[in-house]
Amino acid sequence: MPSNESNTSNGRWIGRARRRVEDARLLTGQARFAGDVVPAGCLHVAFLRSPYAAASIDEIDTGEAAAAPGVIGVFTGSDVDGLGSLPVNPLVETLRVPRFPVLARGAVMAAGEPVAAVVARSAAEALDAADLIEVDYEPGQPVVLRNGSVDGPDLFDALPDNEATAQTWATGDVDAAFATAHTVVRVEIEQARLAPTSLEPRVIVAEWDDERSSMTVWLSTQTPHRARTDLAAIVDFDITRLRVIAPDVGGAFGMKASVYPEEVFAVWAAAKLRRSVRWSATRGEDLLAATHGRGAASVGELALAADGAIIGLRADITMPLGHWLPFSAVVPARNAGRILPGPYLADTIAVTARARVSNTAPVGIYRGAGRPEAALLIERLMDEAACALEIDPVELRRRNLIGRERFPYQTPTGETYDSGDYAALLDRACEIAGYDGLRAEQARRRAGGELVGIGVAIYVEPSGQGWESARLRLERDGGISAATGASAQGQGRETAYAQIVADRLSISPDCVRIIHGDTAATPDGIGALASRSTPIGGGALVLAADDIRDQGRQVAAELLQCTPGEIGLCNSGFGQIGRTDVQVSWQAIAKHAGNANEDDRVPALEADKVFEAPGEAWGAGACVAAVGVDRETGELNIEHFIWVDDAGTVVNPMLVEGQLTGGIAQGLGEALMERIVYDDEGQLLTGSLMDYAVPRAADMPAVEFDRIETPSPLNPLGAKGVGEAGTIGTPPVILSAVLDALRPLGVTHMDMPLTSERIWQAMRDAK
């Protein structure tokens, strides 16, 4: 039978490429998703959704629906009028928040907004009854964003515009820098809106316990503890009687980071009817009413000296928000601003990031959340500067990268990069790609009439801030259970976390049971967000494991009748330092410590820890892509793709490569095919996977991976995030390569997605 682990020289578990332990149940049908939970007598919900993006509601007739077979109740906005609002992370002081619409009251603000809800004995009966509800609308003119400008009326009453928030970062005399610059370049970028499109749609099951008047909410979420807090507050339900369980989650990517109106209604209905209530979104409902991502309109200018040194940066980034704000709504705009100028030295900047509401689906955090927007803008500017100065784009980047000796480095937006070696990343990527050889080959092929391009991009990836929790127990049988406040959505969390604990306790990961996603079984925590779970969640596990280790050492000293200072870790237990014949196992420690308490439910040893990061760990990476473009069809072929990442200390390189591959797939989706489209009336034109394209396996090119490690000093593991890297670096490197291929034809600008039709049209327009 093949081994589950690869060998390492030091025999420890950190750094081992260990296969995911989750996959056995996922691949054999043993996984359990929220959609698999159907309590006995469960009721089902269907929503009637608005056909208009902006309209007043004159009248709703629910009589025929209420009398339909199987219907338990029909509810409208007046029924939920007293419910609370969803809190929004106040990262920006000037934030203005529109109403949170559980069910529309008096007006609708987006096509797809829930107007009424039917609760019935079956999903089919609920859907049939919803079709019987009649609503008298008075259509209005929706707010539609066009290149960052606003057309139509406001969503905010008595406000002069629809800007929900804006933040500016400024250092130095930017006007003087641009006035004295040798060269100034400018780019304008429109990024398409994207749909996160997780394999598992949104699902909630509010399971009612009539005997205890309590509720267990099975929810496909990446933030179970926050969901519990928010649901209890909005519905005014005793939080001590509310439990949230996030079982196996089939992808989230930020879309499942916040509570939705439909989920609030399900919990409210379960409490009101004292019955279990279930709702599962269709793919169309997710495309229409779940959060979208990206959609930025960005303008940037770069001022450069004659030698290519950056002396000034101006940037203005406008992000769409939709008609209500999820918890982390302002994160993409804030990230896009604060991350600039990325990996480059630029002391003089003026950057503004703003976010605006509109009559569309909400926009929230989607894998990367502002990081891709910042990387795309600065990398496009670097390519344009290289062209204007006639300097090789790799060389121009080398001249402006933050040097390793400058870390920790404070950026002009006030961020602190903890560690890194950006030049080494770029050099390694170019070495693997054979960059000089690629350029020589490009010249030869261009002379033969081929359209070939080479792109390069460097990115930074902040890994989240704040705290996370862990609870470790040495059980009475000698096994270790580790409960974490972080959660999982397919990242291999159980595998990596078991390796972290096993590494600190010198045991096999097979002896560690990871518990997550259940608010009744785990300590309070933040969840899976912002590439933070390994640096911060893993940091909490390290602290708890070290506490258990120290407690175990004390017990081992008692058993071996020596001082704790004479005791050291050995395989599966402790031993007297310098002797191999005097050892005690974790099982013996558990038995001895457990005998001190007659209650079998009490573990032998226990440690509860919270790790709060003193700062943000910043990962980084460099990538090189070579592409060919068919002159006749515009078809794009990615011929080479090289990726070098720095995620600090790597716990499991197999998982890291998997995260990078998944991120690259989503980055390619943005670069090549994905695009949410609304018409001028706010109607969604890409409401199914017939119209909204997502990458298939055949669309993925071969990617050559490598890495360097500059450990972070800000967490016990030295880890940095990697979960969002693929979505950050892929769009700019692919766009860079395509524009490089088309530049001989005079094509200097294209917006994504880079479909063959768009490329073909750009070539024809250039002619």
Per DSSP bridges, beta strands 297-304 and 193-194 are unpaired
Q: How many CA atoms lie within 13 A of 304 on its CB side?
A: 26
Angstrom distance (rounded) from CA 20 to CA 251: 16
Q: Is the confidence at residue 9, as pLDDT, over 70?
A: no
Whole-model pTM: value is 0.93
> Among 212, 241, 254, 208, which Cα is nearest to 531's?
254
Angstrom distance (rounded) from CA 65 to CA 131: 8
**pLDDT score recorded for residue 150:** 34
Cβ atoms 226, 198 nearer than 8 A: no
CA 79: distance to chain centroid? 34
- φ and ψ of 119, to 5 deg: -110, 125
**pLDDT score recorded for residue 161:** 53
Residue-wise pLDDT for 487-525, tens only, equals 888 889 999 999 999 999 999 999 999 999 999 999 999
Average pLDDT estimate for 252-262: 96
3-state secondary structure at position 365: coil
120 burial type by CB count under 10 A (0-12 exposed, 13-18 middle, 19+ buried):
buried
Residue-wise pLDDT for 435-472, tens only, equals 999 999 999 999 999 999 999 999 999 998 899 999 99
Average pLDDT estimate for 159-172: 76
Residue 332 binned pLDDT confidence (cut-offs 50, 70, 90): very high
3-state secondary structure at position 350: strand
Cβ atoms 156, 95 nearer than 8 A: no
> Among 460, 441, 457, which Cα is nearest to 739's?
457
**pLDDT score recorded for residue 278:** 98
- For residues 480-495, one letter each, b for 16 or more C-beta atoms within 10 angstroms of the residue's C-beta and e for the rest, the string is bbbbbbbbbbbbbbbb
Cβ atoms 198, 292 nearer than 8 A: no
Q: Is the confidence at residue 264, as pLDDT, over 50?
A: yes
Residue 548 binned pLDDT confidence (cut-offs 50, 70, 90): very high
Residue 594 binned pLDDT confidence (cut-offs 50, 70, 90): confident
Q: Is the confidence at residue 186, as pLDDT, over 90?
A: yes
> Letter for the amino acid at 21?
V
User: Residues with Cβ < 8 Å from 182, sequence gap 6 or more?
Assistant: 304, 305, 306
**pLDDT score recorded for residue 149:** 34
Q: What dihedral angle (degrees, nearest 10) is formed by the CA atoms of 379, 380, 385, 390?
A: 100
Q: In Å, what is the CA distance from 745 to each residue of 449, 637, 708, 727, 767? A: 11, 18, 38, 29, 7
State the residue for tokens 């059980």. 475
Q: In Å, what is the CA distance from 213 to each residue of 264, 271, 273? A: 18, 8, 11
Q: How many CA atoms lie within 13 A of 647 on its CB side?
A: 27
Residue 179 binned pLDDT confidence (cut-offs 50, 70, 90): very high
Q: Is the confidence at residue 176, as pLDDT, over 90?
A: yes
Residue-wise pLDDT for 611-641, tens only, equals 999 999 999 999 999 999 999 999 999 999 9
**pLDDT score recorded for residue 152:** 31
For every residue of 40-86, DSSP letters joined together read: TT-EEEEEEE-S-SSEEEEEEE-HHHHTSTTEEEEEEGGGGTT----
Q: Is the confidence at residue 143, as pLDDT, over 70?
A: no
Residue-wise pLDDT for 632-681, tens only, equals 999 999 999 999 999 999 999 999 999 999 999 999 999 999 999 999 89
Average pLDDT estimate for 30-39: 95
Average pLDDT estimate for 696-713: 96
**pLDDT score recorded for residue 767:** 76
Q: Which domains does the chain have, with CATH numbers?
A: 34-142+201-289 (3.90.1170.50), 401-464+615-766 (3.30.365.10), 466-612 (3.30.365.10)
- φ and ψ of 181, to 5 deg: -70, 145
Residue-wise pLDDT for 681-698, tens only, equals 999 999 999 999 999 999
Q: Is the confidence at residue 154, as pLDDT, over 60?
A: no
Q: What dihedral angle (degrees, nearest 10) is formed by the CA atoms of 393, 394, 396, 399?
A: 170
Residue-wise pLDDT for 385-404, tens only, equals 999 999 999 999 999 999 99
User: Residues with Cβ < 8 Å from 469, sequence gap 6 or more?
Assistant: 484, 485, 522, 523, 524, 525, 540, 608, 609, 610, 611
User: Residues with Cβ < 8 Å from 67, sequence gap 6 or more?
Assistant: none
> Letter for the amino acid at 199?
L
Tokens of 495: 């595998």
Query: What is the phi-psi region of residue 434: left when phi exceeds 0, alpha when psi lies from -120 to 50, beta otherwise?
Result: left
Angstrom distance (rounded) from CA 291 to CA 589: 50
Residue 144 binned pLDDT confidence (cut-offs 50, 70, 90): low
Strand residues in 463-578 grouped as ranges (E): 467-474, 480-484, 512-515, 567-570, 573-576
Residue 219 binned pLDDT confidence (cut-offs 50, 70, 90): very high
> Among 756, 537, 538, 722, which Cα is nearest to 643's?
722
Considering only 4-13, 186-195, 347-356, 722-731, which range has the smallest mean pLDDT?
A: 4-13
Q: 415-419, long-range: CB within 8 Å, 24+ apart, which pairs?
A: 415/338, 415/339, 415/462, 415/616, 415/618, 416/615, 416/616, 417/460, 417/618, 418/615, 418/616, 418/617, 418/618, 418/712, 418/713, 418/714, 419/618, 419/648, 419/710, 419/711, 419/712, 419/713
**pLDDT score recorded for residue 33:** 95
Per DSSP bridges, beta strands 107-108 and 55-61 are antiparallel
Count of other CB atoms within 10 angstroms of residue 186: 11
Considering only 153-157, 281-285, 433-437, 603-607, which range has the smallest mean pLDDT?
A: 153-157
Angstrom distance (rounded) from CA 638 to CA 454: 10
User: Helix crossing, 538-560 with 586-594: angle to 10°?
Assistant: 80
- φ and ψ of 429, to 5 deg: -60, -45
Element holding 264 (H helix, E strand)? helix 261-273
Residue 6 binned pLDDT confidence (cut-offs 50, 70, 90): very low
3-state secondary structure at position 277: strand
Q: Is the confidence at residue 232, as pLDDT, over 90?
A: yes
For every residue of 566-587, DSSP letters joined together read: GEEEETTEEEETT-SS-EEEHH
**pLDDT score recorded for residue 443:** 97
State the residue for tokens 């090119």. 701
**pLDDT score recorded for residue 162:** 64
Q: pLDDT above 90 covers what percent of the chain?
A: 85
* Mean pLDDT value across the chain: 92
Angstrom distance (rounded) from CA 244 to CA 206: 9
- Which residue did the predictor score with more confidence, 757 or 156? 757
